[in-house]
């Protein structure tokens, strides 16, 4: 049974004080997070009556009775790896036919217990159920090892998707028609519309986090950096971490230190992904935050108070070197790749510097791009021509340069964007 996020998170109202919690308290939070609340209430009844030593013994000997063992699945291949951990394609041993994706929870610091990013991802995915959002089936665990008998390895089990968008774009034999590009973007924006309607920010939009099934259904994936957001109340501002979103897809407001942001951060990423459908490679590949801001200015124009009122109030506005005298060239730079004028116009509206003027998912879905010939068309026929799964992890690096001539290939190039990681100086809330 799936419970709303608000109920699940009620057991962790002090999520912002997570670093101060001891191992005992963190394990308690895991109990309240991973399992159904009704079952957990039964499990915790004797726990509440125990003294401290009895509680420690109870937790240490607890055998997670309502969490299936990961051995019910047989790993077939490794399909992903990153700061989040590892992802495997696996077969359900019972059916021997059904495939799943197993995402290993990275326990990088065992003394701190179950990672907060995994707790956040579980809670959010228990809330989000939509055709264009990846489906969390269950949480499994391995038996604790003899040398560390109190620690299991946990896996998040997802429906298997045959491809990710970065893997598809890295293959020159995969060719998207204009109608198919429209279908990809329509589904991506539908997914964003749904999660934003449920007050969730993804905060790590990139091509590798866009999964596509063999039937052409797109799924937004990797909610490890996602979080709930709220509309500002009078006199109050949000204080979210700005150390999110992979660098090449990070919007200018985050690069300038904004911590009071919302859905526009995901729409900037959607614009970058949309451009990639033609360029086949990330359009702005900075190596540092400063360089990324420079590339953004060269494409979208200088960041000034005239085009972005209030930008001077952002923490890093006066600390970063912002190029002056740059004209906006989004349409001009994209024309060698994007022949459709409606596509160029939508891209121009998604890559607006001022987040308050940037198109939201609803406006984007109503843009003429999706309502003129050719109409969005099914992807399954095109994907049927490719029997091998394609994932970024298994593909060669994609690097074309910063939207130079469409046929100009940058030699070598194995650069990767810096990972999106939480700011060590600020602990973001789970909710």
- CA gap 110, 350 in Å, rounded: 41
Last residue of a domain, one of 135, 159, 183: 159
Residue 386 in tokens:
């490719």
Is residue 42 over pLDDT 80?
Answer: no
263 lies in the same domain as 300: yes
Within-domain flag for 407: no
150 lies in the same domain as 168: no
CA distances from 201 to 144, 190, 212, 218, 224 (A): 34, 14, 20, 18, 11
Q: Looking at residue 348, which CATH number applies to its domain?
A: 1.10.510.10
Residues 353-364 have a mean pLDDT of: 98
Within-domain flag for 268: yes
CA distances from 428 to 23, 220, 244, 246, 404 (A): 19, 22, 11, 17, 38
Q: What is the pLDDT of residues 49-78, one digit of tens each?
A: 677 777 666 655 555 556 788 999 999 999
Residues 98-103 have a mean pLDDT of: 96
Share above pLDDT 70 across residues of the chain, in percent, rounded to a whole number: 73
Is residue 16 over pLDDT 80?
Answer: no
The helix (run of H) or strand (run of E) holding residue 376 is none
pLDDT band at 359 (very low <50, low <70, confident <90, very high): very high
Q: Looking at residue 125, which CATH number applies to its domain?
A: 3.30.200.20
pLDDT at res. 2: 37
pLDDT band at 296 (very low <50, low <70, confident <90, very high): very high
Report the 10 Å Cβ neighbour count for 145.
Answer: 11
Number of domains comprising the chain: 2
Last residue of a domain, one of 99, 124, 159: 159
pLDDT at res. 288: 95
Within-domain flag for 412: no
pLDDT at res. 416: 61
69 lies in the same domain as 208: no
The helix (run of H) or strand (run of E) holding residue 118 is helix 116-127
Residue 365 in tokens:
């879905």
- Contact, 405 vs 227, CB < 8 A? no
Sequence-ordered list of residues with C-beta below 8 angstroms from that of 280, at least 6 positions apart, any chain: 169, 170, 172, 398, 400
123 lies in the same domain as 185: no
**Strands, E assignment, 274-407:** none
In 3-state terms the chain splits into helix, strand, coil percentages (rounded to 5) of: 35, 10, 50
pLDDT at res. 398: 66
pLDDT band at 19 (very low <50, low <70, confident <90, very high): very low
Task: Note the pTM of the prediction, 2 decimals.
Answer: 0.80
Residues marked as catalytic: 204
pLDDT at res. 239: 84
Within-domain flag for 428: no
Residue 93 in tokens:
């041993």
Domain housing 42: 5-159
- CA gap 62, 369 in Å, rounded: 55
The helix (run of H) or strand (run of E) holding residue 126 is helix 116-127
55 annotated as belonging to a binding site for a ligand: no
pLDDT band at 106 (very low <50, low <70, confident <90, very high): confident
218 lies in the same domain as 350: yes
Q: What is the pLDDT of residues 274-286, one digit of tens each?
A: 999 999 999 999 9
């Amino acid at each position: 049974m799936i419970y709303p996020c608000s109920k699940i998170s009620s057991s962790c109202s002090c999520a912002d004080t997570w670093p101060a919690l001891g191992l005992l308290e963190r394990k308690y939070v895991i109990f309240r997070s991973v399992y159904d609340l009704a079952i957990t209430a039964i499990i915790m009844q004797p726990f509440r009556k125990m003294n401290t030593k009895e509680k420690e013994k109870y937790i240490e000997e607890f055998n997670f009775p309502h969490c299936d063992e990961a051995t019910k699945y047989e790993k077939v291949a490794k399909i992903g790896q990153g700061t989040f951990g590892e992802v495997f394609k696996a077969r359900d041993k019972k059916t021997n036919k059904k495939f799943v994706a197993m995402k290993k929870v990275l326990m990088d610091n065992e003394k701190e217990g179950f990672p907060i990013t995994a707790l956040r991802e579980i809670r959010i995915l228990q809330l989000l159920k939509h055709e264009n959002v990846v489906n969390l089936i269950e949480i499994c665990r391995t038996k604790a090892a003899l040398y560390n008998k109190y620690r299991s390895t946990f896996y998040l089990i997802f429906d298997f998707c045959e491809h990710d968008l970065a893997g598809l774009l890295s293959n020159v034999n995969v060719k998207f028609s204009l109608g198919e590009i429209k279908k990809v973007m329509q589904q991506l924006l539908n997914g964003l519309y749904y999660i934003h309607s449920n007050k969730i920010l993804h905060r790590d939009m990139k091509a590798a986090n866009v999964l596509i099934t063999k039937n052409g259904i797109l799924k937004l994936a990797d909610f490890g950096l996602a979080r709930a957001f709220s509309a500002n109340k009078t006199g109050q501002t949000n204080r979210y971490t700005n150390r999110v979103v992979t660098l090449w897809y990070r919007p200018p407001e985050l690069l300038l230190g904004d911590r009071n942001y919302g859905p526009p951060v995901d729409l900037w990423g959607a614009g970058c992904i949309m451009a990639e459908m033609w360029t086949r490679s990330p359009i702005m590949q900075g190596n540092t935050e400063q360089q990324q801001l420079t590339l953004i200015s060269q494409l979208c124009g200088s960041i000034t108070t005239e085009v972005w009122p209030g930008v001077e109030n952002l923490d890093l506005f006066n600390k970063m070197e912002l190029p002056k005298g740059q004209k906006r060239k989004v349409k001009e730079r994209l024309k060698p790749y994007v022949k459709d004028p409606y596509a160029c116009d939508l891209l121009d509206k998604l890559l607006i510097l001022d987040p308050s003027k940037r198109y939201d998912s609803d406006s984007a879905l109503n843009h003429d791009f999706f309502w003129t010939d050719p109409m969005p068309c099914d992807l399954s026929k095109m994907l049927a021509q490719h029997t091998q799964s394609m994932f970024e992890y298994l593909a060669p690096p994609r690097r074309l340069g910063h939207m130079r001539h469409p046929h100009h290939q940058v030699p070598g190039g194995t650069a990767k964007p810096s990972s999106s990681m939480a700011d060590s100086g600020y602990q973001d809330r789970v909710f």
